[in-house]
Amino acid sequence: MVTTNVSFGPIWPSSVGFDNIINELDALLNAQAPTSTFPPHNIIKVDEYNYIVELAIAGFNKQEVTITLKDSLLEIKGQKNPEEAVQYLHKGIGTRSFVKTIKLADTVEVVGSAEFQNGILRIALCNVIPDSKKPRTIEITDGLPPAANIERVRELLAERDNT
């Protein structure tokens, strides 16, 4: 196993408010590598905002698979129902139980329902960028010190919370 040390030190002088993201990246980089790659999966980038997660789960039916999204974790679980007495000469199709967890950004949402066809489970995802996060031009005015702008922001937030 190859270990990589990443230093986020150079980021701090030119960033504000990235504490949580950097801590999350640090935790992901230092986490134990997954012990199982079953079932195999793909993450497809369709365009700038849309993705598809595919899992190869041949041998499962849709009643044996559950998909949950909680706290930005997409969790796909497969629990194979007990088989009838079958005598295999060779069993190469993996049907063991599994849990596949994929961390999503806070702005990524599951689109519609999952699709299961020909042994492939597909889950569509969309990165929904709120208007407040989209690029905008900041007006330059005369005379208002930054502290006054912060007070104005507090007033606007209080007005929003009261409506």
pLDDT at 55: 95
Whether the CB-CB separation of 109 and 125 falls below 8 Å is answered with: yes
Amino acid identity for residue 159 in this structure: E
pLDDT at 72: 87
pTM listed for this prediction: 0.66
Spatial CA neighbour of 65 closest among 126, 113, 103, 108? 113
Pairing of strands 98-103, 108-110: unpaired
Q: Token pair for residue 115?
A: 């699709």
pLDDT at 82: 74
Q: Is the pLDDT of residue 15 over 70?
A: no
Pairing of strands 73-78, 65-70: antiparallel
Q: What domains appear along the chain, each with residue ranges and CATH number?
A: 9-162 (2.60.40.790)
Spatial CA neighbour of 75 closest among 27, 123, 33? 123
Q: Token pair for residue 145?
A: 């010190």
What's the pLDDT tens digit per position in 81-107?
A: 777 788 889 988 777 889 999 989 888
